[in-house]
Amino acid sequence: MKLMHTKLPDFIRKMKEAAAKIGSTCKECKVVGLENLKTAKMQSLRTGRIEQAVEELAKMEDVHKVEVAIIPRIPESMHSAIVRGFDENGNPTHAILETINILHPTEDILLHDCPDVDDRRPPIGNH
């Protein structure tokens, strides 16, 4: 299991290192979209592919910095809302479960002004 997943801090470190070590100048890499996650595991194969994409862009002389934005692929996702009540000692005493759909912005908000887009994603369901 360990070889199949990359821990979140390692994912972010790999992206920053990929941009810094490639090309004639050290380039900054910013990872956005994961700020609310305290912990996660990323697919190692996809981590490597994204790392290669960062290196590819960092090699280009007209690129001065790189951004990796992680957004949901399917714009509507269903989430559980867990509302918990705690006593004076901080122990949970009651909980209510609800459901909420979240409509996420799509890739278009980040790509609308980019003249060169290379879509390397597999079709949905074939990843």
Q: Is the pLDDT of residue 6 over 60?
A: yes
Contacts by residues 1-4 (CB-CB < 8 Å, ≥ 24 positions apart): 3/44, 4/43, 4/44
The alpha carbon of 27 is separated from its chain's Cα centroid by a whole number of angstroms, namely 19
37 domain residue, yes or no: yes
Q: Which residues of 66-83 are buried (b: 16+ CB within 10 A; e: fewer)?
A: bebeeeeeeeeeeeeeee
State the SS3 of 71-113: CCCCCEEEEEEEEEEECCCCCEEEEEEEEEEEECCCCHHHHCC
pTM score, whole prediction: 0.78
pLDDT digits (tens, 9 = 90+) for 49-99: 999 999 999 999 899 999 999 998 888 989 999 999 999 999 999 999 999
42 and 100, same domain (yes or no): no
127 domain residue, yes or no: no
Q: Contact, 23 vs 56, CB < 8 A? A: no
Last residue of a domain, which of 38, 53, 70?
70
86 and 66, same domain (yes or no): no
